[in-house]
Structure 1
């Protein structure tokens, strides 16, 4: 199966192919002048998420060149992912052409005709795009003012003369709406909603929570409370650490959080050290910290909510998927007095076992396995340390009640981790 990459002229310059008996290996190839394909790199398909070193964003204004979002490399002074240009003809990656000093780039806006880079986009709390041209930036600021605080704005497409913009907007209690901005009239015309039946007033309200870890590290997360909850109310709390762990939560519509808050729970989603989106140092601070500072950062957030009077300390559960499932299991193992129930969805319980499985799935020198060595640890050299923070070693006498959910065909975290 092939997915072809084209430049601004529509000329094929590269392709990605899924290969292997199970179709789990992705090979990226460049097309040469002689019509032959040359391999540029290869990854397992699950490494595309596990190893987000770079990804293609779209063609540039030059034939054979593609915009790429790329993490900073070792030795670089900058710490956040930037927009670069990959040249398929020379097989080379250019220097950064756009970067936000605080947040990793996740998308771009290009001019419809020339493919010129107009803006870089990133998640702060909300999704936003900073335009290079001052006039376009003023237009975007006007759109943001029209929507108000707490709304993420994405540019879907523009007229070639920039007279009209199709934009998608969303907020924590709005799954998404579409508008057409008319630059001449300076007017936003409503197009439609993604889910008209989801009434904003019936959904939970989300806000940012800033707090400090025990060692003074500044942290933040998001607390979503049930609709019409008073300031004095303290509904039961569900702590929901994200997966990855090199991912992050944002101030946006979250289906899981809204499902739970509309059933009377409040949901806390912490961005602990190890989360992505805020630069390499913050993400790498979570390396080999399973059961360590990553878990302590989650706990610090819960303790902050208790101290603020927002939560009843006797009504707290922890729920998560993938890495979040591990964090849930370890939370219940290490702090049974804090959590009254635990739900792990495709979570890891045996870190030595998962690393041995990873090595069996990929070569020991593969990028995928090397990443997990950095992130989790070596199952041989670090065996005792990994066992010490593996929930399976606490199964006997485990305190809170546990619900384990796992798909039998899961090829990212094997089901044996939940048995």
Structure 2
């Protein structure tokens, strides 16, 4: 086959000049040297080498082993670097994507997971609380979330070991210990914080603090979760692994995909009221595959709570933001049977669940300028047996 230039992208490639996601890579020739790359089609632009060759003032930020220094530099720098990168796409500093090793692109400071889909929350409530209200009384008034474990966030392609823990079905006389029998996925969107903050972040400052967007799979052990989650919520059932894409797509790449969230059914307190704010939803179309078979296509546009509202709520009590903070949308589910973002919903809690050896892959895209597509890097993980 003829060798094509990285500039010759196939029609419809979601990783064109309007996307340009950031990652961290190394090569076989320099396996110990990690530096920042930018995906362009099926190639990776060595941003550090290109910046040095062009005498860019931002070369030190791009020669870092993580995205954190670039993310901490703030939105003006993010926009300037992105503009310069577009001018480097005709240069020689490319590697084939298949020839590089991708790494976790940023050092995760804190991790928070939300519960922002009304469809998901309603479906799960009916399964977990069949005799009670599907939604808790607070759900329409604030974005519910929990503080997860940053140390078990892993990059796409990392195998996931089946977790063990306590389990107790309603008919069991006592809890037992062993590998999870109800291992599940959660198809989510992650938001990566760049600029830190020492005070609450209002809705209108969302763009000043969020660097980019990624796909995320918050693996869940439903039997461990069901036994432990009352009264304090998720813990061991969630903290064993969270998979993220190797690519972080800049927030500004989604301007064409902005959309209004679903109609609010309850009045919101002023710090969450986005009635006069820019549209806070994003029209992201997610696809979930298990062992190559499509099982769901959840629409992110259906999410009740927006990422800007989540950030405002996460900081309103005075909690600070740090560069590298990661917060996730919670499971993305739509109103249709083929739009559910986890097996718990897809099977109404009955299974089948993930088996050892199963491989789960999430992909997603959003509408871009002039009919283009904006891509999110895939998230893949394979289940290994419990240790």
Q: TM-score range by the shorter chain?
A: under 0.3
Tell me the TM-score normalized by structure 2: 0.24
Computing the radius of gyration from Cα coordinates, the structure with the larger value is 1
Tell me the TM-score normalized by structure 1: 0.23
Q: Which has the higher strand share?
A: 1
